[in-house]
Amino acid sequence: MKSFPVLFFLLVVKICFAQQNYVLSGTVKDKRGEVLPGAGVYVSGYKMATVTDNNGNYILPLKPGNYDILVQLIGYKTVNKNIIIANKAIKLDLVLEESITQLSEVTIKPDPNRAHYIAMFKDFFIGTTPNAQQCKMINPNVLLVDYNRDEAKLTVKTNQFLIIENQALGYRIKYLINNFEYSSRTKIIYYEGFPYYEDLKGSARKKKIWAKKRLTAYLGSPQHFFTSLYNGRATEEGFIINKLITQPNRDKPSDSIINANIKRLTKLQGGLLQKKINFNQGDSLSYWIRQKNLPDGISILSRSPVAQDTLVHIKNQNVKSINFTDKLYIIYTKEKEDALFANRIGLSINRPLDMPDYQVSTITLQIAPVYFYANGGIYNPRAMLYAGYWAWEKIADSVPMDYLPPVDLKK
């Protein structure tokens, strides 16, 4: 079966855990120098945020790390800044520019296919998992949707927060989408933006249910995998790392031979003599088209575990990296595949017949190496392409980067 890849580029992350907090502070003003009270200051990917006071000032206590700071106020263009906190407080003053683009300007020309495109976006961005079925987009009117028929590509972005209520995990997610792309030709999903998480209000019983589901969403996720990899505990926490090695397909002729035969037979078929071609012969046009459609390579699973100490390298005291050839074949043994996933054509990764229905994902390296942090955050997430279970679970199954599983995780 074909895998269904997805490229995640979430502009979040990059925190290294330390005991000491340092203060990020500053003032938010407009271009005339007037202070702006009530501006929201968010730490992308986390549950950390504050609001500027009457003097336009804000304060955020942060641990050492690398953060994307997002500032938003209605009527102004959203500003984001990347900051690195090492061993001292940082002062960051920000200037907002008035926005001249109003929502009415982007809804002047209604698209009769908009509802269809939004439904596609919801499936590919929020997901199709059981948790996704309990998610609702509160303000889909902020979505700026475009579909390019020539490229068969769906593009979505926002100039204000898309609000998603996740009743499965108990989160209210505010997501400023810089860019979302889905290509129906390559089947690759790519998105980047700034998410912010808030806890929904609920009864003690609901909160208990949410806590259990949040833990389930975290376990086996890329965030969990890279956290355990950082700590050298991937095996203990249920991950098996194998290699999916691609070898040239010896049954496929070279492209030059295939193209030459297709060209010759196409000319023969369209020539003045209109000579009849026997499609039962090995030299037929249909035969060479089938040869052209054969895969260039054949994937072979090496079931020898990849040792963590050979895969992971230390960049510095806060950052580690991985670099590899072929594909990583990640098996999470502490949870089985959901039945909804198993029944979706084109998503599952091929597995040996003797392997139970564990959750299986693959990682293809786009840019080497991949840097990651102690909380599972990825410095350059565009460097990886996920397929399998990780490609199926999307925003509906995400938790904030400052999510901490229970201490007694083994229980």
CB-based contact 154:181 (threshold 8 Å): yes
Q: Are residues 226 and 319 in the same domain?
A: yes
Q: Give whole-number Cα distances, 30 to 37, 95, 201, 359, 390, in Å.
A: 11, 5, 34, 50, 42
Q: Are residues 229 and 356 in the same domain?
A: yes
Number of domains in the chain: 3
The token duo for 270 is 């369209």
CB-based contact 196:171 (threshold 8 Å): no
Q: Are residues 271 and 349 in the same domain?
A: no
The CATH number assigned to the domain holding 81 equals: 2.60.40.1120
Q: What is the pLDDT of residue 8?
A: 44
Q: Are residues 317 and 371 in the same domain?
A: yes
The token duo for 155 is 């593009």
Domain-located, residue 400: no
Residues in Cβ contact with 407 at an 8 Å cutoff, skipping those fewer than 6 apart: none
Ordered alpha helix ranges (H), 77-230: 103-106, 114-121, 204-218, 222-230
The domain of 322 spans: 222-249+297-392
Query: Which residues face 67 on adjacent strands?
Result: 83
Residue 139: count other Cβ atoms within 10 Å of its Cβ: 13
User: What is the torsion angle, in degrees rounded to the nearest 10, for the CA atoms of residue 113, residue 118, residue 124 and residue 130?
Assistant: -120
Distance from C-alpha of 51 to C-alpha of 324, rounded to nearest angstrom: 43
Q: Are residues 345 and 261 in the same domain?
A: no
Q: Look at residues 254, 345, 351 and name the one whose alpha carbon lies nearest to residue 300.
A: 351
Query: Distance of alpha carbon 216 from its chain centroid, rounded?
Result: 18
Q: What is the pLDDT of residue 346?
A: 67
For 3-49, write each residue's pLDDT tens digit. 445 554 443 333 333 347 889 999 999 999 999 999 999 999 999 99
Q: Are residues 264 and 366 in the same domain?
A: no
Distance from C-alpha of 171 to C-alpha of 385, rounded to nearest angstrom: 26
For 259-313, write each residue's pLDDT tens digit. 888 877 777 655 544 444 444 444 587 887 887 787 777 788 999 999 999 999 9
For 183-222, write each residue's pLDDT tens digit. 998 888 988 899 999 999 999 999 999 999 999 999 999 9
* Segment 112-122 mean pLDDT: 93
Omega within 30 of 0 (cis) for the link into 369: yes
* Segment 80-100 mean pLDDT: 88
Distance from C-alpha of 238 to C-alpha of 228, rounded to nearest angstrom: 9
Domain-located, residue 142: no
For 307-350, write each residue's pLDDT tens digit. 999 999 998 877 899 999 999 999 999 999 998 887 776 677 88
Q: Are residues 287 and 330 in the same domain?
A: no
Domain-located, residue 155: no
Identify the burial level of 97 via C-beta atoms within 10 angstroms of its C-beta, where 0-12 means exposed, 13-18 middle and 19 or more buried: exposed
Please state the three-class secondary structure of 301-368 as a single string.
EECCCCCHHHHEEECCCCCEEECCCCEEEEEEEEEECCHHHHCCCCCCCCCCCCCCCEEEEEEEECCC
Tokens 């009849």 correspond to what residue?
Answer: 276
Q: What is the pLDDT of residue 237?
A: 95
State the helix-helix crossing angle for 285-293 and 255-270, rounded to 10 degrees.
Answer: 150
Domain-located, residue 335: yes
For 345-388, write each residue's pLDDT tens digit. 667 788 888 999 999 999 999 999 999 988 888 887 778 999 99
Q: What is the pLDDT of residue 109?
A: 54
Q: What is the pLDDT of residue 260?
A: 83
Residue 228 in this model has a pLDDT that exceeds 60? yes
